[in-house]
Amino acid sequence: MESRDFGRTGLRVPVVGMGTWQTFDVRDAAGEQARTRVTDAAFETGATFFDSSPMYGQAERVLGRTLNGRRGRAIVATKVWSANDLEAEHQITAALDYFDRLVDVYQVHNLVASRKRIDQLERLKDVGAVRVIGVTHYSAAAFGELRLAMSDPRVGAVQIPYNPDERDVESDILPAAADLGLGVIVMRPFGQGALLRRSVAEPALRPLAPFGISSWPQALLKWILSDLRCHVAIPATSSPEHLRINAAAGQPPWFGADERAYVARLAGHSL
Ligand SMILES: NC(=O)c1ccc[n+]([C@@H]2O[C@H](COP(=O)([O-])OP(=O)(O)OC[C@H]3O[C@@H](n4cnc5c(N)ncnc54)[C@H](OP(=O)(O)O)[C@@H]3O)[C@@H](O)[C@H]2O)c1
């Protein structure tokens, strides 16, 4: 697995990690055991960047449990998501409990009360409980606001959607992130699974075999990661096998412009 400098934060991250929205919101022992096998596969393959949020039900708690003695080898990104100071404090206290008193990348989810939340996260950074402060929004309609938040010198990372269906970040957000030296986390690499429901026949992937591509999810991940301004993509999965397939896309050779255009066409777009 290739790793990249996470902007100018001093962190190095594997290029493929894992999201936990829906997939890690499980509430029984059998569910937790099954998710532990997904986390095991992440450690086996080096996909050890994990993203969560208090917005994802039980996902933070379950992720913390599946790390199970391996917290020191993981990079944990989570989020705070409340306009209410007391609730935000509760979310942060819970997350620090789940993740052994350290969150590597603490993000303001959907920019909710971002100034106040960044002040709060900065205080945690001062005492060594947070390494990098991030901002994130899923909606292109909020990218103006996101761009402003990225300029705050205390912000070191940004999480954005980027895939062949969602390319709004190309015009402003990705160039600004590179200029500012921010770490870039790519959410929704499969468009919440929608891109995977488009059938792409195996012969259509053959021209990508020299790039180590044997499946459509891998082609989509390599499309993202071949833009070197993207540091880590975080596909969510409930399957250890899918995780292994995804992780295998995390090494060179990277696509050039022709291969990226080809994958975009397979996804149903012209460049
Ligand atoms: N900051 C924000 O506002 C925000 C918003 C949305 C998401 N996120 C983050 O980004 C992460 C990823 O986005 P997402 O969860 O929305 O969607 P996604 O990663 O684009 O797609 C997830 C879906 O893809 C499937 N999948 C994964 N690998 C596969 C493979 N190799 N083969 C076949 N199917 C595969 C999963 O099903 P299986 O379980 O069957 O594998 C799941 O249904 C989230 O989990 C979350 O951490 C952040």
For residue 251, is pLDDT > 60? yes
Q: 216 in helix, strand or coil? A: helix
Considering only CA atoms, which residue is closest to atom 19 of ligand 1? 235
% of residues, the chain, pLDDT over 90: 97
CA of 208 to the centre of ligand 1 (A): 23
> Which atom of ligand 1 is the closest one to the Cα of 246?
31
Give the mean pLDDT of 146-173: 97
Condensed to tens digits (0 to 9), the pLDDT of residues 54-102 reads 999 999 999 999 999 999 999 999 999 999 999 999 999 999 999 999 9
Cα-to-chain-centroid distance, residue 222: 14
Exposed/middle/buried for 165, CB within 10 Å: 0-12, 13-18, 19+?
A: middle
Q: What is the pTM of this model?
A: 0.97
Give the mean pLDDT of 139-168: 97
Q: Which single residue is written with the structure tokens 């596909």?
A: 235
Condensed to tens digits (0 to 9), the pLDDT of residues 133-151 reads 999 999 999 999 999 999 9
Give the whole-angstrom CA distance, residue 89 versus residue 95: 10
Q: Which single residue is written with the structure tokens 């397939």?
A: 245
Encoding tokens for residue 221?
């991940």
Give the whole-angstrom CA distance, residue 57 versus residue 84: 18
> Which atom of ligand 1 is the closest one to the Cα of 137?
3
Considering only CA atoms, which residue is closest to atom 29 of ligand 1? 242
Instruction: Establish whether residue 138 lines the binding site of ligand 1, counting it when its CB lies within 6 angstroms of any ligand atom.
Output: yes
Q: 153 in helix, strand or coil? A: coil
CB 234 within 8 A of CB 243: no
> Which atom of ligand 1 is the closest one to the Cα of 110?
3
Q: Which of 225, 242, 243, 244 to mutate to test the pocket of ligand 1 (most atoms within 8 A of CB)?
A: 242
Instruction: Establish whether residue 43 lines the binding site of ligand 1, counting it when its CB lies within 6 angstroms of any ligand atom.
Output: no
CB 19 within 8 A of CB 234: yes
pLDDT of residue 198: 86
Q: Which amino acid is it at 225?
A: L
Q: What is the CA radius of gyration of the chain?
A: 18
CB 187 within 8 A of CB 136: yes
Q: Which single residue is written with the structure tokens 């399957």?
A: 239
What sign results for the dihedral spanned by CA atoms 203, 164, 232, 242? negative
At a CB cut-off of 8 Å and minimum separation 6, what does 111 contact? Answer: 135, 136, 137, 142, 145, 146, 149
Query: How many CB atoms lie under 10 A from the CB of residue 34?
Result: 15
Give the whole-angstrom CA distance, residue 95 versus residue 54: 8
pLDDT of residue 224: 98
Give the whole-angstrom CA distance, residue 185 versus residue 45: 19
For residue 271, is pLDDT > 80? no
Q: Which of 21, 241, 246 to mutate to test the pocket of ligand 1 (most atoms within 8 A of CB)?
A: 21
Q: How confident is the model at residue 199 (pLDDT cuts 50, 70, 90)?
A: confident
Give the mean pLDDT of 107-128: 97
| DSSP of 25-80 | ---SHHHHHHHHHHHHHHHHHT--EEE--GGGTTHHHHHHHHHTT-GGG-EEEEEE
Considering only CA atoms, which residue is closest to atom 31 of ligand 1? 242
Length of the chain in residues, anyone? 271
CA of 23 to the centre of ligand 1 (A): 8
